[in-house]
Structure 1
């Protein structure tokens, strides 16, 4: 696996019961996955020679991020190394301009958008193709967790995104009801499964809480979202896990609709709830898919599951808070990533589940806030 973050750590964990041996290409020995995987190569994934040397002896290559250069992945495939997802699919998660063009071509509902050349072009987009300002600007490559995204209210505010030296995508600012995510997994021979559509609650551009399934989501819209994600996975040739981040909106008649916001071709934060709340987790199904094994059951174990991210806060050692959280809620599941605790850094997550949504949400919120130090009782 290329990438040593927490996604690789949890994917490795899911492969242990199957006897899968992982080899990891990690930036540093301190990376989350590098702390638990036995076979670690420390190196730069942007260097082709490093990738080629790492790939020797691997049956298949997969990733916990989308940033490996596409031309390097094509070189690995030319060397006879299976890469899943392959470069033809992964480019749609790397480049937002390519993604929007392809999604539009297959009829997937998207916000109005266009790649723009400069602030004056942003103003032309706003006045002729959108509903005026504000407009959302995104660098087509390299953004994540709110980075590389700007909401601008005039052409004068639009200069900053162009300083990165990469193309910029302009999108209408969507007046959405809430954010959803449809997670699916697809294998090389075309078997696919869909998890329940979830609600994803963002705070300052970072995923804070995921509720599975999304409360009060009409059945027809849920099915539509799952079918859309499965169609995207098939049309783009995705192998492994695909997260389709969605906006729930209302049309002119007040009917609920969905628009595609982003794609991620790897296990995703919106699917972390499956680690404890689904019969087969996103991590286990991703492993099965990239190895072309039969996929597991994606159905939930309980009526409601809530995942809340734990951000670094006032506790330099939040492990001391385990005693309180575990004693207060024996059903709580805590997943920490082995990262140094820094304010605002995503260092873990908690999951809770049960029959009453308000109770399940309160349990997850209390644990995450206590581990962060926001509350002390």
Structure 2
């Protein structure tokens, strides 16, 4: 508890853009998020008042950071489970707990647990030695995924033959069926220690080169019964896995129904639209959840909300400040979030959210704004 304000202190391990936006939500609740950053130049470290420098792999640094926090949570899923358990044994409230987070950290464990729960999944095998069985049952290509650590297209390989398998020798991977999908969806829910849950409208996510480039809320043309099914699936998984905080369930929509692709237990790229597009942002909702506050309202603030990621473009051209000037003159309704990150080609450096009534025009405005910030034209 902060003795100056009488309000709780939440610590977030990791100093990236998720911590930066969670800090912004904390301010409205009278708090300043405590951030464990690896560098003073990290995205959240540039804006938060209470920044501690240290490694998420250092138990002593984690213990020192957690001291005085009413709850500890995560900007990423890379803190080893044994370190989280040590904090829990010390009496710190850590959310999500290690026994839940493992299912977002380890894809093999995730698939095993989801299978035991009867959740809809693609066909899969736990080892590259199963490739012959996989290719015989599902045909080529076969998807290989790093069991741990993959994100934004990294750690995913499309295998077209046995020769491709040999190139992955030594990597800890699982194998999955390549699912014939219509599109990708995401269901975002929050859960408190008390067990209260809140579900956001199901969204469509658009991927390019393994990176999410666009999120559309609500998912256009999704039948109500399918949307309710996705929300209920996410709620059931959050409850069964013991999640506290946010759970993002990435889904494939197929001709046969929904299929679970990935899980994330933190604020998620598929929920950035909620800052302007929902009554309660995912970042405030995550804080409410880990503090065991009642959940906030999740309804949309406009009929259509589109979020477009801003990726780093080629070097040169006009400055990002000049690009903002031009963008705001062209579209004053576009809401821009820049993360304070050094620009590298393909790196997520921000996002743009546009709200409106017409899907086509809102999508076009969001795409144009993101492209302008990326390319300056």
- The TM-score by the shorter chain falls in which range? over 0.9
- The aligned counterpart of 1:124 is 133
- The aligned counterpart of 1:308 is 308
CA displacement 1:51-72 (0-9 Å, x = unmatched): 1121111111100111100000
- The aligned counterpart of 2:5 is none
Checking the alignment, whether the CA contact within 8 Å between 2:128 and 2:175 is kept in structure 1 is: no
Report the alpha carbon displacement of residue 123 of structure 1 after superposing the two structures with TM.
2.0
Structure 2 residue corresponding to 1:210, chosen from 215, 238, 248 = 215
CA RMSD of aligned residues (A): 1.1
TM-score of the pair, normalised by structure 2: 0.95
Checking the alignment, whether the CA contact within 8 Å between 1:60 and 1:82 is kept in structure 2 is: yes
List aligned pairs for 1:92-103, cutoff 5 A: 92-103=103-114
Checking the alignment, whether the CA contact within 8 Å between 2:143 and 2:159 is kept in structure 1 is: yes
Report the alpha carbon displacement of residue 315 of structure 1 after superposing the two structures with TM.
5.5
- The aligned counterpart of 1:227 is 232
Report the alpha carbon displacement of residue 22 of structure 1 after superposing the two structures with TM.
1.9
List aligned pairs for 1:163-202, cutoff 5 A: 163-164=170-171, 166=172, 168-202=173-207
Separation (CA, whole Å) in 2 of partners of 1:274 and 1:22:
19
List aligned pairs for 1:275-290, cutoff 5 A: 275-290=275-290
Asked if residue 261 in structure 1 is aligned to residue 244 in structure 2, the reply is no
Unaligned segments of structure 2, at least 5 residues: 1-11
- The aligned counterpart of 1:145 is 152
- The aligned counterpart of 1:69 is 80
Checking the alignment, whether the CA contact within 8 Å between 2:246 and 2:265 is kept in structure 1 is: yes
Structure 1 residue corresponding to 2:41, chosen from 15, 24, 30 = 30
Structure 2 residue corresponding to 1:249, chosen from 243, 248, 254 = 254
- The aligned counterpart of 1:335 is 337
TM-score of the pair, normalised by structure 1: 0.95
Asked if residue 135 in structure 1 is aligned to residue 142 in structure 2, the reply is yes
SS in 1 for 2:213: strand
Checking the alignment, whether the CA contact within 8 Å between 1:197 and 1:222 is kept in structure 2 is: yes
Separation (CA, whole Å) in 1 of partners of 2:168 and 2:291:
39
CA displacement 1:285-307 (0-9 Å, x = unmatched): 00000000111000100000000
Asked if residue 154 in structure 1 is aligned to residue 165 in structure 2, the reply is no
Structure 2 residue corresponding to 1:369, chosen from 358, 367, 371 = 371
Moved more, 154-163 or 196-205: 154-163
> Which contiguous aligned blocks of 4+ residues in structure 1 show a shift greater than 4 angstroms?
none
Report the alpha carbon displacement of residue 336 of structure 1 after superposing the two structures with TM.
0.1
Quickly say closer, same or farther: Cα 1:243–1:138, change in 2 above 3 A: same
Quickly say closer, same or farther: Cα 1:44–1:162, change in 2 above 3 A: farther
Structure 1 residue corresponding to 2:361, chosen from 359, 362, 367 = 359
Checking the alignment, whether the CA contact within 8 Å between 2:193 and 2:290 is kept in structure 1 is: yes
Report the alpha carbon displacement of residue 330 of structure 1 after superposing the two structures with TM.
1.4
Report the alpha carbon displacement of residue 117 of structure 1 after superposing the two structures with TM.
4.2
CA displacement 1:156-176 (0-9 Å, x = unmatched): 101333433x3x110000010
Report the alpha carbon displacement of residue 208 of structure 1 after superposing the two structures with TM.
0.2
Number of matched pairs: 364
